A = this chain, B = another copy of it.
Amino acid sequence: MPTTDITAALLIIGDEILSGRTKDKNIGTLADNLTALGIRLLEVRIIADDEAAIVTAVNALRARFTYVFTTGGIGPTHDDITAESVAKAFGVSIDIDPRAVALMEPEYQRRGLELTPARLRMARIPKGAALIQNSVSIAPGFIMENVIVMAGVPSIMAAMFNDVAPTLTQGAQLFSKTLTLARAEAEIAPYFSAHQDKYPDVIMGSYPSFHGGKYKTELVLRAVDQDLLQKVADELAALLTEKGLL
């Protein structure tokens, strides 16, 4: 499969997603943003707020992908254990970081809030990590080697990703073309499969949907080479038109 070699995994940490109480909004946002940067998101995992599960997942994923993004579990309450768990995964210590306090102190002062022990919990950063700015609620995320630790609240996650994005190594962008047909997948399948066999350098996927008794199938073609993509998409469209399917 011809593609970028810059890869990523996303690790979502939170009981509330697994219980169904909170519906995830970060997967789609991060997938869109990484695709736009030519970084190929190859795996997402959602796990509980459980130290052993976090340590295992962080270590499994950081060995396999260029970047690992985590969301969730960096707030001020007892169930926020992501920072400690990431420190443990890397075998480093964690403590209140003066750089984080320096970011938080003036903003909390301005708002007339005290830096209580609970708030200072959000300043705990593993030794050796770089900070990620949080323009929404100030308490920072952090980057530890190739692991990028962000908040779970979608607006804060987005703010942190915006701070990190310019520092990421971008990959070769995959361009895409979509053909939409009011047909069941199975009618198109033989032509589409043959087309994939003919052009192995273009990634082809077929995405069916079914609403109100009507079939719809979207054929998505993706490639790094934009000229090839155009040629292969045009040829597929001509073939399906000839067969009376498009």
Q: Select the stretch in A125-133, A160-168, A188-196, A225-233 that faces chain B.
A: A188-196
What is the size category of the interface that chain A forms with chain B?
35 or more
Verify if A42 is at the interface (C-beta below 8 Å from B).
yes
Q: Is there an interface contact between B77 and A192, defined as CB atoms closer than 8 Å?
A: yes
A22 to B75, CA, bound (A): 30
Contact assessment for A77 and B27 in the assembled complex, using a CB-CB cutoff below 8 Å: no
A118 to B47, CA, bound (A): 37
C-alpha spacing A153/B215, complex, angstroms? 12
The binding surface of chain A is classed by DSSP as: mixed
With A186-B119, A192-B77 already in contact, the answer to whether A205 and B16 are too (CB < 8 A) is yes
Q: Does A243 contact B (CB under 8 A)?
A: no
- Are A208 and B31 closer than 8 Å at their CB atoms? no
Nearest B residue (CB) for A78: B193
A136 lies within 8 A of B210 (CB): yes
Give A31's nearest chain B residue, CB to CB: B20
CB <8 Å contact, B153 and A16: no
Task: Using A76-B189, A117-B190, A118-B193 as known contacts, list a sample of 10 further A-B pairs with CB atoms less than 8 Å apart, ordered by residue number in A.
Answer: A18-B43, A19-B31, A19-B41, A20-B35, A21-B207, A42-B47, A77-B188, A79-B205, A118-B186, A153-B209
